[in-house]
Amino acid sequence: MPLITYRQALKDGLAEEIIRDPNVLIMGEEVAQYNGAYKVTEGLWERFGDKRVVDAPISEAGFIGLGIGASMLGIRPVMELMFFSFAYVAWDQMVNNAACVRYMSGGLINVPIVIRGPANGGTNVGATHSHTPENQLANFPGLKVVCPATPYDVKGLIKSAIRDNDPVYFMENTLLYGMQGEVPVEEYTIPIGKADVKRAGTDITLIAHGRAVITCLKAAELLATEHEISCEVVDLRSIRPLDEEAILASVRKTHRALLVEENKPFCGVGAQISHLIQDKAFDDLDGPVKRLSSIDAPAIYSDPLEKYQLPNPQRVIEAVLKMI
Amino acid sequence: MPLITYRQALKDGLAEEIIRDPNVLIMGEEVAQYNGAYKVTEGLWERFGDKRVVDAPISEAGFIGLGIGASMLGIRPVMELMFFSFAYVAWDQMVNNAACVRYMSGGLINVPIVIRGPANGGTNVGATHSHTPENQLANFPGLKVVCPATPYDVKGLIKSAIRDNDPVYFMENTLLYGMQGEVPVEEYTIPIGKADVKRAGTDITLIAHGRAVITCLKAAELLATEHEISCEVVDLRSIRPLDEEAILASVRKTHRALLVEENKPFCGVGAQISHLIQDKAFDDLDGPVKRLSSIDAPAIYSDPLEKYQLPNPQRVIEAVLKMI
Amino acid sequence: MSNNTTTEVNQEEEIAPPLDAKALASGRDHPVNVSLKAEGKIRLYTTMVRIRRFEERAVRAYQQGKIGGFLHDYIGQESIAVGCCSLMKEHDHVITAYRDHGHAIAVGMNQNALMAELYGKVTGCSKGKGGSMHYFAPDKNYWGGHGIVAGQTPLGTGLAYALKYKGLKGCCMCFMGDGAVNQGVFHESLNLAQLWKLPVIYVIENNGYSMGTSLARSSAFSDSLAMRAEGYNMAWDTGNGHLIYEVRAKVAAAIERAHEHSLPTLLELKTYRYRGHSIADANAEKYRTKDEIRRTRETKDPISIFKTILLEEKVLTEDIAKDIEKSARDEANNAADYADRSPYPPVEDITNDVYWSVDNPGKHDNHGKIFFND
Amino acid sequence: MSNNTTTEVNQEEEIAPPLDAKALASGRDHPVNVSLKAEGKIRLYTTMVRIRRFEERAVRAYQQGKIGGFLHDYIGQESIAVGCCSLMKEHDHVITAYRDHGHAIAVGMNQNALMAELYGKVTGCSKGKGGSMHYFAPDKNYWGGHGIVAGQTPLGTGLAYALKYKGLKGCCMCFMGDGAVNQGVFHESLNLAQLWKLPVIYVIENNGYSMGTSLARSSAFSDSLAMRAEGYNMAWDTGNGHLIYEVRAKVAAAIERAHEHSLPTLLELKTYRYRGHSIADANAEKYRTKDEIRRTRETKDPISIFKTILLEEKVLTEDIAKDIEKSARDEANNAADYADRSPYPPVEDITNDVYWSVDNPGKHDNHGKIFFND
Ligand SMILES: Cc1ncc(C[n+]2csc(CCOP(=O)(O)OP(=O)(O)O)c2C)c(N)n1
Ligand SMILES: Cc1ncc(C[n+]2csc(CCOP(=O)(O)OP(=O)(O)O)c2C)c(N)n1
Ligand SMILES: [Mg+2]
Ligand SMILES: [Mg+2]
């Protein structure tokens, strides 16, 4: 299989869906003529033109609300948030109109919208631009939240997200855009809600999503070579729906779980999974479920400190060693 | 001690602070001339005038942002959200500017603002007006989140919140406003972050905040009389800071915990507490920590169904009986 | 910083003096009204009466405790929804705020389903899930019924965007209150609509108050709220919303601008609500004088005014009017009986209609757990 | 729906023809400029040069990899921050967006602390916690430095509210870009400011682009963005931001309106940025022509223009100019050395400055756990 970047895989997925379905359009700030702030949509405007790739003013609440309204009439907008942090100025549209209209209409209306963009810290831009709202958004019944970690996953999942008739919030990571991975040339999709065991192991289960998966894989490698500890790494891929079977199956095998996420800890995704594991696999656990999240403060600007504030392989290794 | 309502206790607390500190002002939609949509501020405009009690247009992002800016210069605004659900149109101001400015300025700036209002479902008004964002807001380091359940607590805590130099989000409940309770005439405050054991017991710990506390107390009474089960009811009162000692002390005594909240379950407050308990009291537990939340869907309009969707004494009793 | 007295004054000016006969017929000469046949005029009148009776019946049911929560009635404003919706063509759409009963009836929704929704019954238009503020009928091009002030304005802009995207000759009429003009998302919508030339008509139903706050205490403006469109180089107009002929004339021009030139319009129509903000509003007569309400009812009621006009035009007779009254009352009462007799939704319904993929099993390739009750 | 060519054209018109001598001195006759002594004029010129050199040095450090993340330089716009801030009195305050270096230096912040902040060092003005977009100096009445577009506009309105509340004669100058006018919260702020008569001045630094999007592709308007104030019955004005005399004249009028009448103003000043949106912006010359940039630099550079004027006024000589240049370069270089030598914050710092109550133990009656790392 050819090696391509996460960015390229994502772009290919977008392009394929634009070609497949005339109702698919991309909208966001700088997505067209500027080729995307992070070049995810590079070349798409030249290829598909003004109708399918649309530059929007700096009005996230306005253009995302517009996308939700258009989707009610059957358009399938793929909205780019330049940073997912900017979702906060569009929050009401995203959690009330997108999440509740189907319900409040007794199922008469669908909102087949995708809102995508990077949702991560670690890029040395400070607190306002480093938010990770996946836990907050997944709190809302009516929404789906997907966080792909690899080129293969991001392509297969963006295609499923665009074809999904429910609102799907698709969270990427600027630090993964340049990462390479194998992606088949032939078309494929990945079902939303299926986790993926990225590394098999026997001593402990590391559960993560997004870039934290890559962090865990690095840590697992070092733990194997330097400490002879065998880690299983479960990549959630989707936060809501959540693949509980995959989580439980792994923990029942390893009897230990460390939950790693770039979220802030309080009511983060790890909290929900920790509850799940102790609830459904209580007797299978050799010890408490542990969590590793971003250090609990707004994202610090200073580069070396921010690198430490986020979970990194070293912090994962220390956490695992404490558990075994 | 005199018996007064939750609403009256809250109003008395507000009035006392307005008198005590000339920098305290109340602002919100219909808080002045209309006396408050839920009459919490009734009479305060007549008493304190235009300067201290201010009616705002329907511009939550604008006037809350204005309050944050004013607080940076030493004003202590107490902002009313008619419904906390409307926080979603002001989300960026509340979670970026209020939560991060102190940090991003290296501690040079404080934001002594209070944002208060009812944050509850159960009033037959549908999904858009029934949100419970305490878990989302408590996810942000820099914010404090308080959810008082009784007249005594609401008065003592609103006074502490107003005197606090950090942003405090103060979540009430329209269904509690009319509830009566004993409140001393002499002045008092309640420290933010201290839980309160509302009922002592030995068989199981029920942990809740806000109206769910009242629900638990009703259930505990019935469980005692009809099933001879002794429940301890811990009222968190504050979500962030969180009184972990009080939670753990009770669970170490009863060895069982049921977490009850009106939040939606995914990444709700109960998830965080469940993780805490299994982490810090793993060996003290006789069985998994269980949770009871709102049934996982947008708030339904239909009255009898909404009553069932929220945790109620009957659902609490069933959950407890399953655990013992 | 707020000033009540000046407000009162403004309001007084708003109301008196009563309109003379000529003024009452304003807009009659506009083609859309000239071309109206007798049946058409009767239908306009009938629909206004049906809305009024429906809501009066709903208010009674609320007072009887059969309806809870919020009930925002439209009594006094009927001419706007009826006038605007009476001009809808195949691809014209409507969206509004929580004061949505009038628009729902104006687009042709069935009163049984509307009343049952208020009662929270499974036979309601939203199966009892939306309630008074959240009526929907996509089959009638009616997209709600939205509880968050101005939250519907970008949605309406998006409906217009979809029409243009699909190359359909239509528009979206996006209704809102005077208090909604101070929500930022409305301004973002105005900019997008003009920038992208979208066929949307923002109709401000200016009834002078947002809850207990008069226009002067909530909005800074010179002559009109509609003038805010000027900053976006957008067409705008104002009109007397009490006069259904004028409403139709004004909105017809906006519809033509949308259909023929794919351009937006901001249209402000002056109107008035007699009752409180919602039926639960105990202050209805505190933030404005009893007298102000009385005189508006007497001099500006859109139904009485139109009745006078139709009688004078000899289109209507007192007998026909009586029949219209009676069948409107019957329709509303039957709707209440129907709602009363209807069952509540079953408990399982709580988790239906949340996700399309759950309600259509097997059609989506979705896995995993999506509800987290256990 | 977007149209690039028309844009280009707009821009061309914007720029040519170069201003003649008389035009260059526009605003000179205004009292605030007439009353300026030579030192005052030299100080204006010097501050502009110091900002330019500071940022050029920062850009070099960025290219050397000493600074990461975003670096939005202000090069080409210096006359606005310097002109406006030069009129600040005791109770006048400033708040701006992420393009905040110029304002920081204009209010008198120390370049060592500013450069160290860019380097993420503990000696930075925010201890390395805020970075380029988040400069703060309350002691200089400077309230940031805000990364979210238009997020500072209600804050600035609130600073003005606080001044009025305390009965202080002052105002808040709230700076923003041309792209920020399409954020709803800005409109909510305009309404609040006019409704409550707040002493706030919204200064739109219109440099023609928001990132790669030209004004014409992002905003619907007729003559100016400032005209949006009209819908709120707010005073507004436009000016040539390249000319510091004119900037001072225009803002002086707004300050007087704020100080004497406690009224807001929306002031739009035309300007231009030579480089990309941020130093990382590789497209700087893609969404506009090289020629457009070159000719603007040549004909409209605020520093060159003011130098010409001061030479002509005999206030400045080439020798003095050289000295100013040299000490500005030295100051910037010393700041870079200082930043280089300074240490990073210690790891414990990550959880400091989050809560006042944590940083001031015992002063608040707070209990319980507030950080959740374990
Ligand atoms: C964002 C938001 N803020 C506040 C409310 C509460 N609220 C509901 S209606 C209303 C007044 C709206 O007045 P107006 O827009 O004039 O409409 P009218 O009720 O007069 O039809 C308010 C404040 C809300 N629903 N949404
Ligand atoms: C709410 C929000 N949306 C998007 C961004 C990303 N962004 C940062 S600056 C910018 C362009 C702003 O342009 P303008 O307001 O003209 O200011 P300038 O950069 O020209 O000084 C954008 C889109 C942001 N920071 N905040
Ligand atoms: Mg109104
Ligand atoms: Mg700009």
Q: Name the average pLDDT for chain D.
A: 94
Task: Indicate if the pLDDT at residue D11 is higher than 50.
Answer: no
Could you tell me the distance, in angstroms and rounded to a whole number, from the CA of residue D153 to the centre of ligand 2?
13
Most A CBs within 10 Å, among B95, B267, B292, B302, to test the A interface? B267
Facing A165 at nearest CB: one of C93, C137, C364: C364
Could you tell me the distance, in angstroms and rounded to a whole number, from the CA of residue B75 to the centre of ligand 4?
32
Percent of chain C with pLDDT over 90: 90
Q: Which ligand is closest in space to the CA of residue B58? A: 1
Of the pLDDT bands very low, low, confident and very high (cuts 50, 70, 90), residue C19 is low
**Cβ atoms B297, B290 nearer than 8 A:** no
Q: Catalytic site residues of B?
A: 60, 129
Which of A289, A226, A225 is closest to A254 using CA atoms? A289
Output the 3-class SS for chain B.
CCEEEHHHHHHHHHHHHHHHCCCEEEEECCCCCCCCCCCCCCCHHHHHHHHHEEECCCCHHHHHHHHHHHHHCCCEEEEECCCHHHHHHCHHHHHHHHHHHHHHCCCCCCCCCEEEEECCCCCCCCHHHCCCCHHHHHCCCCCEEECCCCHHHHHHHHHHHHHCCCCEEEEECCCCCCCEEECCCCCCCCCECCCEEEECCCCEEEEECCHHHHHHHHHHHHHHHHHCCCEEEEECCEEECECHHHHHHHHHHHCCEEEECCCCCCCCHHHHHHHHHHHHCHHHCCCCCEEECCCCCCCCCCHHHHHHHCCCHHHHHHHHHHHC
Closest-CA residue of chain C to A163: C364
Mean pLDDT for A101-121 is 98
The set of chains that have 3 or more CB pairs under 8 A with D is A, B, C
Of the pLDDT bands very low, low, confident and very high (cuts 50, 70, 90), residue D3 is very low
Of the pLDDT bands very low, low, confident and very high (cuts 50, 70, 90), residue D20 is confident
Point out the least confidently predicted range of B118-122, C208-212, D47-51, D364-368: D364-368
pLDDT of residue C29: 96
Mean pLDDT for C223-239 is 98
Task: Indicate if the pLDDT at residue D285 is higher than 70.
Answer: yes
**Cβ atoms A149, A205 nearer than 8 A:** no
| Beta carbons of B58 and C146 less than 8 Å apart | no
Q: At a CB cut-off of 8 Å and minimum separation 6, what does C321 contact?
A: C45, C307, C311
Could you tell me the distance, in angstroms and rounded to a whole number, from the CA of residue A38 to the centre of ligand 2?
15
For A29-77, the pLDDT digits (tens) are 999 999 999 999 999 999 999 999 999 999 999 999 999 999 999 999 9
Atom number, ligand 2, closest to the C-alpha of residue D206? 16
Task: Indicate if the pLDDT at residue C12 is higher than 80.
Answer: no
Atom number, ligand 1, closest to the C-alpha of residue A92? 1
Atom number, ligand 1, closest to the C-alpha of residue C277? 19
Can A129 be counted among the known catalytic residues?
yes
Measured between alpha carbons, how far is B80 from B261 in angstroms, rounded to an integer? 23
Q: For ligand 1, say whether the CB of C99 is within 6 Å of any of its atoms.
A: yes
Of the pLDDT bands very low, low, confident and very high (cuts 50, 70, 90), residue C280 is confident
Task: Indicate if the pLDDT at residue C299 is higher than 60.
Answer: yes
For residue C59, what are its two tokens? 């208010």
For C125-183, the pLDDT digits (tens) are 999 999 999 999 999 999 999 999 999 999 999 999 999 999 999 999 999 999 999 99
pLDDT of residue C3: 33
Asked if the peptide bond before residue D17 counts as cis, ω within 30 degrees of 0, the response is yes
Give the residue, out of D211, D275, D278, D283, with the most ligand 2 atoms within 8 A of its beta carbon, to mutate for a pocket test: D211
pLDDT of residue D46: 98
**Cβ atoms D94, D142 nearer than 8 A:** yes
Task: Indicate if the pLDDT at residue D353 is higher than 60.
Answer: yes
Catalytic pick from A17, A29, A60, A306? A60
Point out the least confidently predicted range of A59-73, C54-68, D254-268, D357-371: D357-371
Most B CBs within 10 Å, among A266, A290, A291, to test the B interface? A266
Enumerate the residues of chain A whose CB falls inside 8 A of the CB of residue B297. Answer: 103, 141-142
Residues flanking ligand 2, CB < 6 Å: A 29, 58, 60, 82, 86, 89; D 99, 147-149, 177-180, 207, 209-211, 277
**Cβ atoms C226, C238 nearer than 8 A:** yes
Could you tell me the distance, in angstroms and rounded to a whole number, from the CA of residue D208 to the centre of ligand 4?
5
Q: Name the average pLDDT for chain C.
A: 94
Of the pLDDT bands very low, low, confident and very high (cuts 50, 70, 90), residue D4 is very low
Residues of chain B with pLDDT under 50: none
For B113-129, the pLDDT digits (tens) are 999 999 999 999 999 99
Shortest distance between the Cα of B126 and any Cα of chain C, in A, equals 6
Facing C373 at nearest CB: one of B33, B55, B296: B296
Task: Indicate if the pLDDT at residue D19 is higher than 90.
Answer: no
Shortest distance between the Cα of C144 and any Cα of chain A, in A, equals 8
ipTM of this predicted structure: 0.97
Q: For ligand 1, say whether the CB of C179 is within 6 Å of any of its atoms.
A: yes
Can A16 be counted among the known catalytic residues?
no
Atom number, ligand 1, closest to the C-alpha of residue C176? 15
Three-state DSSP state, B89: helix
**Cβ atoms B168, B161 nearer than 8 A:** yes
Could you tell me the distance, in angstroms and rounded to a whole number, from the CA of residue C74 to the centre of ligand 1?
14
Q: Which ligand is closest in space to the CA of residue C276? A: 1
pLDDT of residue D18: 57
Q: Atom 8 (ligand 1): residue with closest C-alpha? A: C149
| Beta carbons of C2 and B304 less than 8 Å apart | no
Task: Indicate if the pLDDT at residue C301 is higher than 80.
Answer: yes
Q: Atom 7 (ligand 2): residue with closest C-alpha? A: D149
Shortest distance between the Cα of C157 and any Cα of chain D, in A, equals 15
Give the residue, out of D204, D205, D210, with the most ligand 2 atoms within 8 A of its beta carbon, to mutate for a pocket test: D210
Burial of A24 (0-12, 13-18, 19+ CB in 10 A): buried
**Cβ atoms A50, D1 nearer than 8 A:** yes
Give the residue, out of B30, B34, B58, with the most ligand 1 atoms within 8 A of its beta carbon, to mutate for a pocket test: B58
Asked if the peptide bond before residue A141 counts as cis, ω within 30 degrees of 0, the response is no
Residue type, B229: I
Most D CBs within 10 Å, among A26, A293, A300, A322, to test the D interface? A300
Shortest distance between the Cα of D198 and any Cα of chain C, in A, equals 10
